[in-house]
Amino acid sequence: MPLINEKLKLLSCSEFRVFLKKLIDDKIEKEWSADFIDNMNLVMIPRMTIRRRYENKGIDLLKLISDTSYYEKVRKNVNSRGSLEFKDK
C-alpha cells in the first residue's frame, strides 16, 4: 500500500492542480471550480483525502492519472453528480 501513496506524492502541487483543472474542463469533476483548485491548500487537504473522494464516486484516481484509456472511459461514463456509471453493466 505505501507504493500507491508514493505514486500520488510524486506529482508536484502544480502538476496536481493542472490535472484537477483538466478534470473540470473534461467535465469529470462536477463540484469544484478552477478558482477553488487555485485556492486549495494541498498541505492542509491531503492528496489521499482527494483520492478517497474519487474512490467514493467509483473512480480510481491513480489509474485516471496514469492510464489514458481509463481516463477516456471515465470521461464518457461519468454521471451528472460526478460518479462513474457504466451503461453496459
Tens-digit pLDDT profile for residues 48-63:
899 999 999 999 998 9
Amino acid identity, residue 41?
Answer: N
Residue 58 lies in a domain: yes
CA dihedral (10, 13, 17, 20) in degrees, to 10, reads 40
Average pLDDT, rounded, for the chain: 85
Q: Look at residue 10 and tell me whether its pLDDT is greater than 70.
A: yes
Residue 88 lies in a domain: no
Higher pLDDT, 1 or 20: 20
- H/E element holding 15? helix 13-25
What pTM was computed for the model? Answer: 0.82
What percent of the chain has a predicted confidence (pLDDT) above 70? 85
- How many structural domains does the chain have? 1
CB 63 within 8 A of CB 70: yes
Q: Look at residue 3 and tell me whether its pLDDT is greater than 60.
A: no
Q: Look at residue 5 and tell me whether its pLDDT is greater than 80.
A: no
Residue 68 lies in a domain: yes
Residue 22: give the domain boundaries. Answer: 2-77
Residue 85 lies in a domain: no
CA distance 80 to 27: 9
3-state helix, strand, coil in the chain (%, to 5): 60, 0, 40
Residue 34 lies in a domain: yes
